Amino acid sequence: MGASGISVFQDDASLDWLDDYVSSGAGAVASALDGAAAVPVTEYLDHHQGAAARTAAEVVATANGDLPDEITQDQLATLNTHGSDVRAMAGLKSRAKAALDRLISENSELHELWMESDDQARWVAAMNDLRRRLG
């Protein structure tokens, strides 16, 4: 696993997904969210798929005006690259919540890694904050 941190801008897998989102458009958001949400809890959600879903959920929250704490203008611009297209997609907030629920459940590599980390409480707080911002 590469670099990881509480923010999507501190995680290599999230940054890789953001590059794809910027170049490919809002469809990447729906794909990441729906892909993670579709993984049954009896199957393993790998780190990259979880990071993509978490970052896509962050894009949805940001596109709808619910910004994360301590975000720079450049980071905001990246998250909101296709903001109007993201806002136009039907049901994306509920899809983001479903993906987030899957990400923080059992059989999720990203969840397991953070539960074993010294920063567990900060990660849980960040996930709770994201869920709140999704409505």
Q: Which residues contact 83 (CB under 8 A, 6 or more apart)?
A: 62, 63
Mean residue pLDDT of the chain comes to 95
Residue 105 in domain = yes
Per the structure, the count of domains in the chain is 1
Task: Domain of residue 92: give its range.
Answer: 8-133
Residue 1 in domain = no
Residue 29 in domain = yes
> Any long-range contacts for 91-97 (C-beta under 8 Å, 24+ apart)?
92/29, 92/30, 92/33, 92/60, 93/60, 93/64, 93/134, 93/135, 95/30, 95/33, 95/34, 95/37, 96/33, 96/56, 96/57, 96/60, 96/61, 96/134, 97/57, 97/131, 97/134, 97/135
What mean pLDDT is predicted for residues 94-109? 96
Residue 2 in domain = no
What mean pLDDT is predicted for residues 114-129? 94
Residue 3 in domain = no
> How much of the chain, in percent, has pLDDT values that exceed 90?
93
What mean pLDDT is predicted for residues 60-74? 95
Which pLDDT band, with edges at 50, 70 and 90, does 4 fall under? confident
What mean pLDDT is predicted for residues 62-74? 94
Whole-prediction pTM: 0.95
